[in-house]
Amino acid sequence: MESKFKKNSLAIIIPMYNEEIVASQCVDQVMNIVGKLKNSTLIVINDGSVDNTGLILKKKLLRYKKQFIVVTHKINKGYGTATQTGIKKALSLGFEWCLHMDSDLTNDPKQIPLFVKHMSDEIDCVKASRYVKGGRVVNIPLHRIIISVFGNFVASSVFQIGIKDCTNGFRMVRLEKLKGVPFKERNFSIILEELYYLKKRNAKFKEIPYVLTSRVISKSHFSYNIRIFYDYFKYVIKAAF
């Protein structure tokens, strides 16, 4: 459908699952930025939360009304499916760009304007990167750093799209490039699946520096296991052919 918004309209997509500890703070901080931007909206996907996340989001809807949308899954479907729901919602509303963020505030909302600054006809995807000048990690366990550095070195070498931090989920994408993509992944591997399809569609990429911090007041839903390694690297293998 033709966009009803002006050029460079932005939908910020945040999946949430049992985030009652940080949900209020996350929405408030992001909406503080959204309120200063033109043609932008926060879309939160309440992915089957069984704590007070849903109640918190309902209260936030009453407060913000405009520029804030909540889509609810009755059961937990996973980060990947929630991300797909957000993309479909943003496309249906005619937005040009979507910005994917985590709900735990390890993605600093203050960086949103930096993504917006890089919107242009020459770029289709802006990725936050821990592995470019100015980027780094803080308070992350050493074993996770080693796994990430090695995994991203391999992925970057194979994808050959000029991106050093392929697995980072803090990214902004031109929605036109995601129309009709047959996403299948339900977990965090959708980040690599998305990158694979963006490469196939000849997307142009840009990286910006990003400082990753660990969760302080809540528990992460991400963990390394055999399945996640397989789901991630099957797209690295597919990208090689």
pTM of this prediction? Answer: 0.90
pLDDT of residue 79: 96
Quote the domain boundaries for residue 166: 10-239
- Convert the pLDDT of each residue in 112-122 to its tens digit: 999 999 999 99
Does residue 121 lie within any of the structural domains? yes
In a domain, 55, yes or no: yes
Say if 204 falls within a structural domain.
yes
Residue 65 to residues 43, 59, 241: CA-CA distances in angstroms?
Answer: 12, 10, 47
CA distance 124 to 113: 16
What CATH number is attached to the domain comprising 120?
3.90.550.10
DSSP secondary structure code for residue 4 in this structure: S
1 inside domain = no
Interval 50-102: pLDDT, tens: 999 999 999 999 999 889 999 999 999 999 999 999 999 999 999 999 999 99
| Within a domain: 5 | no
Residue 27 is predicted with a pLDDT of 98
Q: What was the pLDDT predicted at 84?
A: 98
Whether 2 is covered by a domain: the verdict is no
184 belongs to a structural domain? yes
Residue 164 amino acid letter: K
Residues 6+ apart with CB under 8 A from 14: 26, 30, 42, 43, 44, 45, 86, 100, 101, 102, 103
pLDDT lower than 50: segments of the chain: 1-3
Q: What is the model's pLDDT at position 139?
A: 75
pLDDT at 3: 45
Number of structural domains the chain divides into: 1
Residue 4 lies in a domain: no
**% of the chain surpassing 70 pLDDT:** 93
